[in-house]
Structure 1
């Protein structure tokens, strides 16, 4: 028999912009018919979580975030038929399931994506599954709010994975890793022998490298100022790395190494970096935009240069992924030894959530994962 929903859980809440996370006791509401209760085992920390804390990505406070959750199903709603108690799951982004893009298997471009995933409320009735002494606490962040000992998610954004996988470390597949690898494989269509230029050697950029390697890409160049991350990129399969802080001309170095590339990905959001990416492309090349830019940033492109080479620039959300399909594919690559994303991970106890965030911000850790 399923364990009852706990009346009280612990969750890390953002109460004030820029303030540290505080772990507090909260009350959990009963499940809705299409929801599942997950006992959290691990949760990756994504840049978006930190951006919400710091006000760079405005959300309604107080809120519990966390959106790379991994755990065990402890209870299911009455309409849940594809997931059962005891299943190991990872929790990805949510989507409405009924708009034209969702109907076309493009849930990352759900018409209601941002309302569903960042409002902190159920879209149907604006309710939240968390309260504290009767006060509503915004939750359901990316359909989960996984910075908590238990999380309520929807059946549609819970992905069942093989129980032989190291569950605690699987959460990053749900956003950062999915975004990077999906951008290379799904969005740009990098394939065997193709050349790829990646700006940024963080979790998203290195995941793009891993995705490209998993499908047999040829030359892969990573541009990254952090020496340790450049070294890790080489260990993970980059053919070349470039230090943009060394004072050289990055575009000239790319052209010297390869003559230009077929594909490029920007994870920095910096217009000056995007400009280099556009000019580094060969005729017919494609540039993917993944980094969060300043709110007033404009695309720094010479239209005649783009027209003359037939260049495509694509803004990418969640790696154009359907989590129910792409997460199992990445997990299979991992099991085959072709996708060692765990090389980016360092674990922290849940109680050290603020230390994990600082390690991410400082660059000391590529992908922190909280362990419950």
Structure 2
């Protein structure tokens, strides 16, 4: 229902630390300036949604989370020029578009990244969502808050995609899938004939495995403790798998890779796994770090091993991707059958969001995707 400059939508509201995603009727204001109103067809559930629910990242509550939305533009603000009503879009991370990193093509390191994605408010400090008591609900999560039937996004983080692509599958490209694939292709620049290891075979790690195959790595190792994930890794391009609960990970990686890998990616957020990643590198190897632990988490490593081996550790946000270019590239690779990220997806009705969260935490589902409309 639309009333004046606002409309009633259905949203999953997180009201307390560790609390349930409660489906509520809330109001959402109309788009302003460079904003677009998107009818959400489907949205992925990401590890980051769960750690914010649990307040490992202190986004103020109550809030509407969700940051892997895909949908159809229903309205545009007066300053929008590149998008129009009816466009299919994938929603990605928020960035200012004007700072030095943004100007240099590194928007995922925007000077305002944390404020725009995790503050629970828009750039002007206000909320666009209000509950049935007319109280503001924290929103603008990753510039979208897509655990809702409709979401507001800015023009620069709503990425137009081909209408030939299966829109309900595409939301995870906006964060998790983009992160794993982008880390391999954009940041690490995994080379043909190289040796690569993914520490963690969740959605991000398996996206990295698929990207490493596309990049031409000839030794691709996946490490995890869940056998079904390791089996899938082999189907998606891994040449070797290691069950971390049954084998000595570093020793086995170095054995497989003839002394160590050229490139590795740590996606678990666990400091002890990060240490394994560093130790498993060969000379001049590079470890990318994308796993997100609680703020303030510290890790240890052997400084002389790093120094004498010429090793590097690189933090990576959103796969260092320029989403407007990279997401359509991933869509095209998917349509060609070369990037089958749909193998990671399991669909849930919006009403089953709590089950999706439980299945994700239990490792039963790699990438839950909530269906909201057709």
How big is the shift at 1:140? Answer: 0.9
Distance in 1 (CA, whole Å) between partners of 2:134 and 2:296 is: 40
Residue deviations 1:26-77, cap 9 Å, x none?
1111211100010010000001111111222221111001000000001111
Q: Match of 2:284?
A: 284
How big is the shift at 1:251? Answer: 1.3
Gaps of 5+ in 2: none
1:254 aligns to what SS in structure 2?
A: helix
Residue deviations 1:112-132, cap 9 Å, x none?
101001111111x21111112
How big is the shift at 1:162? Answer: 0.4
Deviates further, 218-227 or 185-194:
185-194
2:63 aligns to what SS in structure 1?
A: coil
Question: What are the equivalent positions in structure 2 for 1:220-299 lying under 5 Å apart?
Answer: 220-246=220-246, 248-259=247-258, 260-299=260-299
Question: What are the equivalent positions in structure 2 for 1:12-31 lying under 5 Å apart?
Answer: 12-31=12-31
Let me know the Cα RMSD of the aligned residues. Answer: 1.3
Q: Is the 8 A contact 2:6 2:29 kept in 1?
A: no
Distance in 2 (CA, whole Å) between partners of 1:308 and 1:94 is: 39
Residue deviations 1:204-233, cap 9 Å, x none?
100111111122221100011001000010
Question: What are the equivalent positions in structure 2 for 1:104-183 lying under 5 Å apart?
Answer: 104-123=104-123, 125-132=124-131, 133-183=133-183
1:191 aligns to what SS in structure 2?
A: coil
Distance in 1 (CA, whole Å) between partners of 2:305 and 2:114 is: 34
How big is the shift at 1:318? Answer: 0.7
Judged with a 3 Å threshold, the aligned counterparts in structure 2 of structure 1 residues 86 and 167 are, in CA distance, closer, same or farther, namely same
Residue deviations 1:183-223, cap 9 Å, x none?
11111011222210110000110011111112222110001
2:162 aligns to what SS in structure 1?
A: coil
Q: Is the 8 A contact 1:289 1:314 kept in 2?
A: yes
2:64 aligns to what SS in structure 1?
A: coil
Distance in 2 (CA, whole Å) between partners of 1:341 and 1:154 is: 26
Q: Match of 1:359?
A: 359
Distance in 2 (CA, whole Å) between partners of 1:181 and 1:280 is: 21
How big is the shift at 1:295? Answer: 4.1
Distance in 1 (CA, whole Å) between partners of 2:108 and 2:296 is: 24
Q: Is the 8 A contact 1:214 1:333 kept in 2?
A: no
Gaps of 5+ in 1: none
Distance in 2 (CA, whole Å) between partners of 1:69 and 1:277 is: 31
1:12 aligns to what SS in structure 2?
A: strand
Judged with a 3 Å threshold, the aligned counterparts in structure 2 of structure 1 residues 353 and 105 are, in CA distance, closer, same or farther, namely same
Distance in 1 (CA, whole Å) between partners of 2:48 and 2:171 is: 15
How many pairs align?
A: 367
Given the two structures, how large is their TM-score scaled by the length of structure 1? 0.96
Distance in 1 (CA, whole Å) between partners of 2:297 and 2:98 is: 32
Q: Match of 1:208?
A: 208
How big is the shift at 1:283? Answer: 1.3
Deviates further, 38-47 or 269-278:
269-278
Q: Is the 8 A contact 1:5 1:37 kept in 2?
A: no
Given the two structures, how large is their TM-score scaled by the length of structure 2? 0.96
Judged with a 3 Å threshold, the aligned counterparts in structure 2 of structure 1 residues 34 and 296 are, in CA distance, closer, same or farther, namely closer
How big is the shift at 1:290? Answer: 1.1
